[in-house]
Amino acid sequence: MNLHRETAAEIGRGLAARRYSSVEVTRHFLARIERANPALNAFVTVTAERALADAKRADARLARGEGGPLTGVPVAHKDIFCTTGILTSCGSRMLANFVAPYDATVVERLDAAGMVLLGKTNMDEFAMGSSNETSFYGPVKNPWDTACVPGGSSGGSAAAVASRIAPVATGTDTGGSIRQPGALTGLTGFKPTYGRVSRYGMIAFASSLDQAGVLAQSAEDAALVLGAMAGHDARDSTSVAAPVPDYAAGLGKPVKGLKIGIIREFFGAGLEAETGAAVRAAIEAFRGEGATVEELSLPNLPLSVPTYYVVAPAECSSNLSRFDGVRFGHRCKDPRDLLDLYRRSRGEGFGAEVKRRIMTGTYVLSAGYYDAYYLKAQKVRSLINDDFRRAFAKVDVLMGPTAPTPAFAIGAKTDDPILMYLNDIYTIGANLAGLPAVSVPCGLAGGLPVGLQVIGPHFAEERLLAVAHAWQRATDWHRRMPEGYA
């Protein structure tokens, strides 16, 4: 069977047409996970039993003529989403014993849509990383070249879908953690507008930036899954009450007359040549289809990385205070007293990158430094916001590369945090401004996938999906699979 060559949407149609059952589909993917996962390390937990039970339930639903386009379609969740009764590790030793007592809203909604849970995917520890090398469970390998990283922090989800051991997976994007791994593994990585998808049950890294999204084979898959998980949730005060459009129905909208803005600042030094060429060629192709292209300057955008590395650590230093060895998670052996309990539980439970960010964040919020760092960063953040707002007064979408280079070798940047942080130089802006953005495969550089990033104004998910879909109807980059996994 070549079920894995079908997109999630195609599997959904096959199930609806009764060409195969969800149990068959699920068995197929479970078998592929079993074969490929040991080398890729994409999954932290495989929930085979649960998957088959889900599949049976989905088949029953389909047999009754019920269910929707995702009923019976398998999915993998990033291990940042709480799942009842299943280890939810967040890629950390701190939570290596944490079995969540409840479901995240995203999990609950995809469950309600009838999706089948294959398991939980590996990730950078607490979503802090751009290469999936900070995970307590070890690095994830890029199926396109197992010597390379898949990007991060949603690296496990990216590797799982790229290797087609899962048809689609969820991810979270705080500074590029869906789009960058999407670009590095040849996937459609979609980050919605901040507030579009509930954060309830998603373990917080930086609350004002975190947003759940999808790693998918196609814009159509992203539209279906996003549509199922989006929408207001009373349990998340930052979730937005605006109605969710039928994203799948909006896919066919033409891109003729689309006004594209090219972000000048994204094409400077640091952009690898072949990557830049592939992205430029893609934008030219849109022009050929009748879009207008205009180069724009967003002068404050180059400040994204330093701004982000103040705001995100500040929030994370506070968000991660709850991991104190008292109620859940890692607790050190035989604490002498309270301070010893805190010091050792946290010292042992957190990895180096997480500690680095907690310390940075604690520093920038400290008395005497708050104004110079945190407050200043918030001001720059609003300037970046203004840059985007001015740009969207002129154009419909902004385009540029997703990442400065294709996938790099495992270990290449682990000794230099700054070099690692620069991986997110093109993606962070959309998080700071809360904008929706998508990365779509647009070529290869040195045999490795390159991503084209499309950023839209707030709540322009439909437009971004239509642009991505138009591109995918004209090209087949998204259909290419890494050798050995086809």
Partner 1 sequence: MSAAANGWETVIGLEIHAQLATHSKIFSASATAYGAPPNAQASLVDLGYPGTLPVLNREAVRMAVKFGLAIGASVAPRSVFARKNYFYPDLPKGYQISQYELPVVARGEVGILLEDGTRKTVGVTRAHLEEDAGKSLHEGLGRMSGIDLNRAGTPLLEIVSEPDLRSAREAVAYMKKIHTLVRYLEICDGNMQEGSFRCDANVSVRRAGVTKLGTRCEIKNLNSFRFVERAINHEVQRQVDLIEGGGKVVQETRLYDPDRDETRPMRSKEEANDYRYFPDPDLLPLEIDADFVADVRAGLPELPDAKATRFAREHGLSDYDAGVLTASRELAAYYEAVAAGAGEPKLAANWVMGELSGFLNRDVLEIGASPVGAAALAGMLKRIVDGTISGKLAKDVFEAMWSEGKDADAVIAERGLRQITDTGAIETAIRDVMAANPGHLADYRAGKDKLFGFFVGQVMKATAGKANPAQVNELLRKLLAGP
Residues near partner 1 (CB under 8 A) are: 81-82, 88, 90, 95, 98, 100-102, 104, 199-204, 206-208, 234-238, 314-315, 317-318, 320-324, 326-329, 338-339, 342, 362, 365-367, 370, 374
153 carries an active-site annotation: yes
- Quick one: 289 or 324, whose CB is closer to partner 1? 324
Q: Which two tokens stand for residue 200?
A: 């309830």
SS3 for 201? coil
Q: Residue 142 in 3-state DSSP?
A: strand
Question: Between 29 and 194, whose beta carbon lies closer to partner 1?
Answer: 194
Active site residue: 163, 177, 239, 345, which one? 177
User: Which one, 143 or 201, has the nearer CB to partner 1?
Assistant: 201
**C-beta of residue 187 within 8 angstroms of C-beta of residue 479:** no
**Measured between alpha carbons, how far is 320 from 322 in angstroms, rounded to an integer?**
5
Structure tokens, 47: 């929930």
Buried b (16+ CB within 10 A) or exposed e, 80-107: bbbbeebbbbbbbbbbbebebeebbbbb
C-beta of 370 vs 485, nearer to partner 1:
370
Burial class (CB in 10 A: 0-12, 13-18, 19+), 7: buried
Give the E-state strand segments of 186-319 in sequence order: 188-191, 212-216, 259-263, 292-296
Could you confirm whether 355 is annotated as catalytic? no
For residue 79, give every residue at least 6 positions away whose Cβ sits within 8 Å of its Cβ, in sequence order, or none: 44, 45, 87, 88, 89, 90, 91, 120, 121, 122, 123, 156
Residue nearer to partner 1 on the CB measure, 272 or 324:
324
Indicate if 177 belongs to the active site: yes
Beta carbon of residue 210, minimum distance to partner 1 (angstroms, whole number): 9
Dihedral, CA of residue 98, residue 102, residue 103 and residue 105, to nearest 10: -120
CA–CA distances in Å: residue 151 to residues 19, 124, 410, 459: 35, 9, 10, 26
Cite the DSSP H helix spans in 79-230. 105-112, 155-162, 179-185, 219-229
- Kindly tell me which of 2 and 237 has the beta carbon lying closer to partner 1: 237
Token pair for residue 21? 């059952």
- We find the least distance from the C-beta atom of residue 203 to partner 1, in angstroms, to be 4
Q: Which is nearer to partner 1, 178 or 204 (CB)?
A: 204
Strands across the sheet containing 74-78: 43-46, 116-121, 74-78, 169-172, 212-216, 188-191, 437-445, 448-455, 397-401, 259-263, 292-296
| Closest to partner 1 by CB, 32 or 191 | 191
How, if at all, do strands 188-191 and 116-121 pair? unpaired
CB 471 to partner 1: min, Å: 34
Out of 153, 154, 304, 439, the active site residue is 153
With respect to partner 1, which residue has the nearer C-beta, 146 or 318? 318
User: What is the rounded distance in angstroms from the CA atom of residue 69 to the CA atom of residue 55?
Assistant: 14
Identify the DSSP state of 204: P
| Residues 354 and 92 sit within 8 Å (Cβ to Cβ) | yes
How far apart, in whole angstroms, are the C-alpha atoms of residue 138 and residue 127? 14
CB of residue 200 to partner 1, shortest distance in Å: 5
Catalytic residue among 78, 141, 191, 413: 78
Helix (H/G/I), strand (E/B), else coil: 215: strand
Look at the block and give the residue holding tokens 């890494």. 482
267: Cβ contacts below 8 Å, ≥ 6 apart: 276, 280, 400, 401
Least Cβ distance, residue 433 to partner 1 (angstroms): 15
Task: Give me the active site residues, please.
Answer: 78, 153, 177
